[in-house]
Structure 1
Amino acid sequence: MEHQAEIGVFGGSGFYNFIEDAVEVKVETPYGSPSATITIGTVGGKRVAFMPRHGRDHSLPPHKINYRANVWAFKALGIKRVICPCAAGSLQKHIKPGEFVFCDQYVDRTNGREDTFFDGPITTHVSAADPYSEELRKLAVQAAKECDIPYHDKGTIVVIQGPRFSTRSESKWFRDQGWEVINMTQYPEAHLVKEMEMDPLNISLITDYDTGVEGAPPVSHVEVIEVFTENNVKLRRLLFKLIELMPSADKAPEFANILDSSRHG
Structure 2
Amino acid sequence: MTTPQTIADYLQQLRAALKGADPAMIQDALFDAEEHLRSELAEHPEESEAAMLARVAGSYGAPEEVAEIYRDTEVKVQRALRAPRPRAGRGPLARFFGVIGDARSYTALFYMLLALATGIFYFTWVVAGLSLSAGLAVLIIGIPFIILFFASTRLLALVEGRLVEVMLGVRMPRRPASAVRELPLLRRIGAMFTDPRTWGTLFYMLLMLPLGIIYFTVVVTGMTLSLVLVVAPVAQLFGFAPTTVNDVAYFWPLWTLPFSMLGGVLLFFVMLHLARGVGWMHGHVAKHLLVTTAGY
Is the TM value for this pair above 0.5? no
Larger Rg: 2
Q: TM (normalized to structure 2)? A: 0.21
Structure 1 or 2: more helix by fraction: 2
